[in-house]
């Protein structure tokens, strides 16, 4: 791969995760569908926060989690995402910079006509490790093409976009601009489909991004692949995926993952999991490992194995930011970091 200043640039929703353990009865009382993700307004965010138990505030967002773990592996990482000039915006900026990520996106200034608070996701974790997410998007929906630092995009080996960011029209244009700059400089562009509900909203547009070559690499789980091709049969979804994108990585929970190309489909077993505590971030960290391998000349199977290793680690504790030295973890597993 051509030399670059950054291995991976992530573009996503800059969200602070507010994580609390809870019981199933609390979800029932609040009328929440276990394991779901719903978008909420500022008033509901405040109401739910008041009802939750003790919580931890950790910088999150899907692409943000991926980029932070890449930095933890020693990769050169950058991130574009919109926060506000407020308490949670300060937390997000500090956290992502503290792990060595280039993050210079201008915040929404207090008093500006379009000002909104920094996004936050109230994540309720039940004893079985399942997470129920309640997300207020706030400032992160205000990312625009003006926030795309062209020199950073041109100097990143892979540009990685989260599908959740495809909702706001200005953010779509920001991503298309980033993709055009990346391809003009011989770089690759990746998309994570993020959520099956997100796929349902944007199926034709996601397929167009893949089929037109705007996107070179897709990350998805099996539910997202089925949603993308409107099928209950994973095999038929994978067969269609092979014709639509150059490379895809499909996670299968405890069954591991598949690396999909036009030529073949490679099955990679899951890494062992000692204890399942919280599934938050499993897909995000899988992408971290895969992208690290891809930008460091690993073969595709090794990329998927490293992704699986990081996913297995992250679900062993609460939150989507690792509590282990990821370089040490990878080296112990035999990866040449």
Q: What is the DSSP string of 243-310?
A: HH-SEEEEE-GGG-EEEEESS-EEEEPPPP-S-----TTHHHHHHHHHHHHHHTT--HHHHHHHHHHH
* pLDDT band at 8; cut points 50, 70, 90: very high
CATH number, residue 194: 3.40.1190.20
* pLDDT band at 273; cut points 50, 70, 90: confident
User: Could you give the percent of the chain with pLDDT greater than 70?
Assistant: 98
The token pair at 150 is: 């062209």
Question: Mean of the pLDDT values across residues 151-160?
Answer: 98
What is the pLDDT at residue 272?
Answer: 87
Question: Is residue 196 in a domain?
Answer: yes
Angle between helical axes of 196-211 and 222-229 (0-180°, round to 10): 70
Question: Is residue 51 in a domain?
Answer: no
Question: Mean of the pLDDT values across residues 139-162?
Answer: 96
Mean pLDDT for the chain overall: 93
Radius of gyration in angstroms for the set of CA atoms belonging to the chain, rounded to a whole number: 19
Which of 187, 182, 148 lies closest to 165 in space, CA to CA?
A: 148
Q: Which residue has the higher pLDDT, 26 or 110?
A: 26
Contact indicator for 80, 11 with CB cutoff of 8 Å: yes
Distance of CA 2 to the CA centre of its chain: 25
Question: Mean of the pLDDT values across residues 206-220?
Answer: 97
**What's the pTM value of the predicted model, to 2 decimals?**
0.91
- What lies within 8 Å, CB to CB, of 264 at 6+ separation is none
What is the pLDDT at residue 317?
Answer: 75
The token pair at 254 is: 């405890």
**Collapsing DSSP states into helix, strand and coil, what is residue 52?**
coil
In which residue are the tokens 């062209």 written?
A: 150
Which of 250, 307, 296, 260 lies closest to 66 in space, CA to CA?
A: 307
Question: Mean of the pLDDT values across residues 133-146?
Answer: 94
CA gap 204, 208 in Å, rounded: 6
Question: Is residue 291 in a domain?
Answer: yes
Question: Is residue 110 in a domain?
Answer: no
CA gap 206, 287 in Å, rounded: 18
- Please say if the pLDDT value at position 278 is more than 80: no
Question: Is residue 32 in a domain?
Answer: no
CA gap 226, 208 in Å, rounded: 17
The token pair at 147 is: 């926030």
Stretch among 170-174, 207-211, 311-315 having the lowest mean pLDDT: 311-315
Question: Mean of the pLDDT values across residues 121-150?
Answer: 92
Question: Is residue 127 in a domain?
Answer: no
CA gap 40, 57 in Å, rounded: 18
Hey, what's the torsion of the CAs at 9, 13, 17, 22, to 10 degrees?
-120
What is the pLDDT at residue 319?
Answer: 67
What is the pLDDT at residue 110?
Answer: 85
pLDDT in tens, 11-55: 999 999 898 999 999 999 999 999 888 989 989 998 998 999 899
CA gap 119, 135 in Å, rounded: 8
Question: Mean of the pLDDT values across residues 120-137?
Answer: 90
- Please say if the pLDDT value at position 2 is more than 80: no
Question: Mean of the pLDDT values across residues 116-123?
Answer: 92
Burial (CB count within 10 angstroms: exposed 0-12, middle 13-18, buried 19+), residue 162: buried
Question: Mean of the pLDDT values across residues 126-147?
Answer: 92
Question: Per DSSP, what are the bridge partners of residue 218?
Answer: 191, 248
Question: Is residue 133 in a domain?
Answer: no
Question: Is residue 36 in a domain?
Answer: no
The token pair at 43 is: 């008033």
| Structural domains counted in the chain | 1
Contact indicator for 218, 193 with CB cutoff of 8 Å: yes
- Please say if the pLDDT value at position 1 is more than 60: no
Stretch among 53-57, 198-202, 300-304, 329-333 having the lowest mean pLDDT: 53-57
Stretch among 113-122, 139-148, 181-190, 275-284 having the lowest mean pLDDT: 275-284
* Biggest CA pair distance of the chain: 54
CA gap 38, 99 in Å, rounded: 29
Which domain range does residue 181 map to?
6-13+61-104+138-332
């Amino acid at each position: 791969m051509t030399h670059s200043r950054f291995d991976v640039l992530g573009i996503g929703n800059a969200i602070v995760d507010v994580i609390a353990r809870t019981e199933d009865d609390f979800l029932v009382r609040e009328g929440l569908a276990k394991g779901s993700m719903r978008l909420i307004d500022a008033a509901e965010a405040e109401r739910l926060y008041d009802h939750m138990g003790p919580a931890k505030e950790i910088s999150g967002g899907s692409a943000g989690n991926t980029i932070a773990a890449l930095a933890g592996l020693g990769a050169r990482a950058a991130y574009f995402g919109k926060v506000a000039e407020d308490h949670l915006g300060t937390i997000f900026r500090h956290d992502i910079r503290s792990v060595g990520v280039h993050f210079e996106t201008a915040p929404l200034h207090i008093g500006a006509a379009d000002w909104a608070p920094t996004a936050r996701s109230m994540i309720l974790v039940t004893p079985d490790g399942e997470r129920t997410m309640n997300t207020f998007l706030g400032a992160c929906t205000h990312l625009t093409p003006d926030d795309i630092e062209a020199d950073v995009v041109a100097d990143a080996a892979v540009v990685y976009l989260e599908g959740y960011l495809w909702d706001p029209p200005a953010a779509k244009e920001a991503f298309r601009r980033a993709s055009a700059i990346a391809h003009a400089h011989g770089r690759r562009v990746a998309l994570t489909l993020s959520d099956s509900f997100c796929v349902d909203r944007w199926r034709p547009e996601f397929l167009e991004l893949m089929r037109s070559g705007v996107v070179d690499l897709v990350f998805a789980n099996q539910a997202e692949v089925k949603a993308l091709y409107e099928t209950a049969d994973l095999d038929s979804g994978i067969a269609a995926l092979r014709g639509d994108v150059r490379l895809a990585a499909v996670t299968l929970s405890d069954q591991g993952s598949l690396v999909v190309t036009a030529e073949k489909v490679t099955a990679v077993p899951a890494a062992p999991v000692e204890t399942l505590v919280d599934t938050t971030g499993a897909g995000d960290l899988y992408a971290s490992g895969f992208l690290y391998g891809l930008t460091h000349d690993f073969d595709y199977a090794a990329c998927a194995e490293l992704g699986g290793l990081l996913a297995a680690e992250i679900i062993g504790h609460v939150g989507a930011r690792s509590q282990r030295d990821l370089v040490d973890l990878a080296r112990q597993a035999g990866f040449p970091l």
